[in-house]
Structure 1
Amino acid sequence: MEYWIWLSSVPYIGPVTSRRLLQAFGDPETVYRSDASDLCQIKGITQRQINSIIENRSLDRVHKIMEDCEKHHISILTQNHPDYPRRAKEPEDSPIILYYKGCVRNMEKTVGIVGARRCTQEEKLKVKEITEQYVSDHTAIISGMAKGIDSYAHTACLKTGGYTVAVLGNGLEICYPCEHRKLMEQIAEKGLLISEYPPGTQPAPYRFPKRNRLISAWSDKLIVVAAGRGSGAFITAEYEKNYGREVEVM
């Protein structure tokens, strides 16, 4: 496990390059022990990335991450594990590891529901109805635990006895927004919290667009409710379209 964490945290090595390295070397420990002549054979790799791999061969930070995961009861899912959903690892930019809390279930059908943070009572009821309809069809609900539409979808799913996945843009020991602490605890108990970020990672604006791509990757279909153009919900929709999946705007 430690080498998976190491590869996922090497500076300048993103998910696409990480996957290419794994395809070439077979496992992250072999990447860790590779030399420059081996690394330069990887398609698209830059000298900066090669230097970063060679210069960051330390497991000190990795061991700290593992200690923090144990302290906060956070588990780690690697991309070669059978529990990592097939749909979620189809995109080439899917992370090689995910941190999670809760239960990873086999989800035959999934739908992402995202939208405005500020919405009307009518829009809130619409989300509730949509969510209940999908839950009755045994479809898992994917969203981002943000204020507004996201939280209403998670809540309606839990109240209906469904399974929901919340994708966070920070470490899983941090609740953001802070007023969703109870919701976060309920999702961890009855659903699944996931993040590509290790414990200690604070929420930041630039992390949420990256988080949005995971909502898309985990969703067979995406529903966007009451969102303005240029919003995070529409960023999620663009990812969904790029992944060749259906988007419905309401």
Structure 2
Amino acid sequence: MDNRDTLIWLNNIRGVSNKIIEKLEKYYVDIKNIWYSSNDDILRIQGINEKTKLEIIKLKDYSYYERIMENVDKLGIKVVTIYDNNFPNRLRHIYNCPKVLYIKGDLLIEDHISIAIVGSRKVTAYGKWAAEKFATELAKIGVTTISGMAKGVDTDVHRSTIKSNGRTIAVLGSGLDVIYPKSNKNLYEEIIYNGCVMSEFPLGTQPFAYNFPQRNRIVSGLSLGVVVIEAGEKSGSLITAQHALEQGKDVFALPGNINSIYSIGTNKLIKDGAKLLLSLDDIIEEIIELKDISKKINVDNRNIIDYEELSEKEVQIFKCIQEGTIHLDMISYKTGINISSVTSILTILEIKGIIKQLPGKLFSVK
């Protein structure tokens, strides 16, 4: 057993946290030396409770380690430790750095250019639209999206990225063999073929509530910056934003209706100094790594529209919507086209797949 093997073994023992591993590293210098340590010596270690020390002694068995590796191999899971060269560099320097990562799919060099997008599980139509919009736009300029595969915003982010032929990473709050929520089983498989799913929790770990705030530091740690779409007053997304700030990352928040409970968190983030998010340009302007990418792509023309295929009135209405999400009545007012005709033309533009209707007779570019 070398240091790497020992780290994986310890990660699979109940009660052994990253902080306990750090204490063992300090005590033994080379953590593998625990294998040559007597039971009495292990029991003398300070700062670790007796129950955990007894569990370590009980499972100090090479066959236990072999079973762990057999199980991950059977499921096609890669194990990456902090001792490995391919361990994500950004995670090495965060507080409470994970020691072991379980990965299914491929974590590529290009995933270094990534943005985390998080938000409420109970997403509104506005939040869904924004999550899809920013995930799609980031995917189209080659930026990997990161989220947590939860219901709501996370799911919309992963799906929109994949639909746009982009790469996405899901960081789970459970073992990789425990898909949560179960309704995302198909999405889980799609992510594997368009990025990867990742967890610091060993196989069999259930999605306990206290796992999610812990995993959020990895979501932010992997990324260049964090986008918060919608968040309640005590949302887990705010924990991700806090981790990001502590890690020196930019946080972008989508402004929302002051009457919406799902925008209390994002509006407060903006009030406290988060970057106001109105367009993809707001992200690109703040993150230097994205500026080089954006130079190669005309960000303002991500959806290339062949105006020759549109009638004069269709072009007029489409350009009106391009300026930003707009109400049916305002389209009629700005274009001078009567409501009846506007309604018909909007239907045609929707069928052509270049605009989409939102609740409340609002329209936006797709």
Is TM > 0.5 for Structure 1 vs Structure 2? yes
Distance 1:130 1:47, change over 3 A: closer
Q: C-alpha deviations, 1:214-237, integer Å up to 9, x for none?
A: 112112211111110211111111
Question: Among residues 148, 151, 158, which one is paired with 1:147 in the alignment?
Answer: 151
Task: Report the equivalent of 2:216.
Answer: 212
Distance 1:22 1:140, change over 3 A: farther
Distance 1:76 1:113, change over 3 A: same
Question: Among residues 6, 9, 13, which one is paired with 2:9 in the alignment?
Answer: 6
Task: Report the equivalent of 1:97.
Answer: 100
Is the contact made by 2:139 and 2:164 (CA closer than 8 Å) also made in structure 1?
A: yes
- Calculate percent identity across the aligned residue pairs: 31
Is the contact made by 1:16 and 1:94 (CA closer than 8 Å) also made in structure 2?
A: no
Distance 1:23 1:91, change over 3 A: farther
Q: C-alpha deviations, 1:159-214, integer Å up to 9, x for none?
A: 11211110011111222111111110011112111011122122221211112121
Gaps of 5+ in 1: none
Gaps of 5+ in 2: 255-366
CA–CA distance in 1 between the matches of 2:48 and 2:215? 28
TM-score with structure 2 length normalisation? 0.61
Is the contact made by 2:43 and 2:53 (CA closer than 8 Å) also made in structure 1?
A: no
Q: For residues 121-200 of structure 1, what are the structure 2 equivalents within 5 Å?
A: 121-200=125-204
Is the contact made by 2:90 and 2:221 (CA closer than 8 Å) also made in structure 1?
A: yes
CA–CA distance in 1 between the matches of 2:64 and 2:42? 25
Are 1:68 and 2:43 an aligned pair? no
Are 1:48 and 2:61 an aligned pair? no
Is the contact made by 2:20 and 2:48 (CA closer than 8 Å) also made in structure 1?
A: no
Count the aligned residue pairs: 247
Distance 1:9 1:200, change over 3 A: closer
Is the contact made by 2:227 and 2:252 (CA closer than 8 Å) also made in structure 1?
A: yes
CA–CA distance in 1 between the matches of 2:193 and 2:15? 35
3-state SS in 1 of match to 2:11: helix
CA–CA distance in 2 between the matches of 1:12 and 1:89? 22
Deviates more, 1:192-201 or 1:116-125: 116-125
Question: Among residues 195, 198, 206, which one is paired with 1:202 in the alignment?
Answer: 206
Task: Report the equivalent of 1:86.
Answer: 89
CA–CA distance in 2 between the matches of 1:39 and 1:221? 43
Deviates more, 1:154-163 or 1:58-67: 58-67
CA–CA distance in 2 between the matches of 1:21 and 1:231? 34
Is the contact made by 1:94 and 1:217 (CA closer than 8 Å) also made in structure 2?
A: no
CA–CA distance in 2 between the matches of 1:177 and 1:144? 11
Shift in Å at residue 16 of structure 1? 3.3
Letter in 1 for 2:123: C
Question: Among residues 30, 33, 37, which one is paired with 2:36 in the alignment?
Answer: 33
Shift in Å at residue 62 of structure 1? 2.7
TM-score with structure 1 length normalisation? 0.87
Letter in 1 for 2:90: R
